[in-house]
Amino acid sequence: MESLRTGCMFMKSKREKIDLHTLEGVITFFGSHHAIRAEGVLKKNGFTAVLIPGPREISPNCGVAVRFDFSLEHEVRALLQEHMVHFEDIHHYPER
C-alpha cells in the first residue's frame, strides 16, 4: 500500500487519510532499517505509523523516523521493546 503525501495529510488509500497534526510523537533510530521495521510492527498491531524524514533538530543519526500518536507512547515503547526493535528515543514533536 503506497502512501501519498498531500500537505499535512497522508493518504494510505482512497478511503483512509491520516492527519499528521494528530500524530505528535516521533520515534528516532540509528538506522533506516530499524525505522522500516518499527513501522511494520506498529501497523501490524493496529497503530497508526507513518515514515517521515528524520528531524535533524532531535536526531542527526538517521534520515528516517516514524510519526505516531504520542498519547500511546507507553504502549508503543512496550511493543517495540517486545519485538526487539532498536530505536534511539521517543519524542513529543508536534507537526510544524
Q: Are 9 and 20 in contact (CB under 8 A)?
A: yes
In the block, residue with C-alpha cell 534520515: 63
Q: How many Cα atoms occupy the beta-carbon half-sphere of 95 within 13 Å?
A: 16
CA pair distance 48, 96, nearest whole angstrom:
19
Give the structural domain span for 79. Answer: 19-92
Q: Are 68 and 23 in contact (CB under 8 A)?
A: yes
Q: How many structural domains does the chain have?
A: 1
More confident residue, 78 or 7: 78
Q: Per the domain annotation, does 36 fall within a domain?
A: yes
pTM over 0.75: yes
Q: Per the domain annotation, does 70 fall within a domain?
A: yes
Q: Per the domain annotation, does 58 fall within a domain?
A: yes
CA proximity to 36, closest of 10, 64, 63? 64
Q: Per the domain annotation, does 11 fall within a domain?
A: no
Q: Per the domain annotation, does 3 fall within a domain?
A: no
Q: Are 34 and 87 in contact (CB under 8 A)?
A: yes
> What's the CATH number where 87 sits?
3.30.70.1940
Which pLDDT band, with edges at 50, 70 and 90, does 16 fall under?
low
Q: What is the pLDDT of residues 27-46, one digit of tens each?
A: 999 999 999 999 999 999 99
Parallel/antiparallel/unpaired status of strands 89-92 and 25-28: antiparallel
Which pLDDT band, with edges at 50, 70 and 90, does 68 fall under?
very high
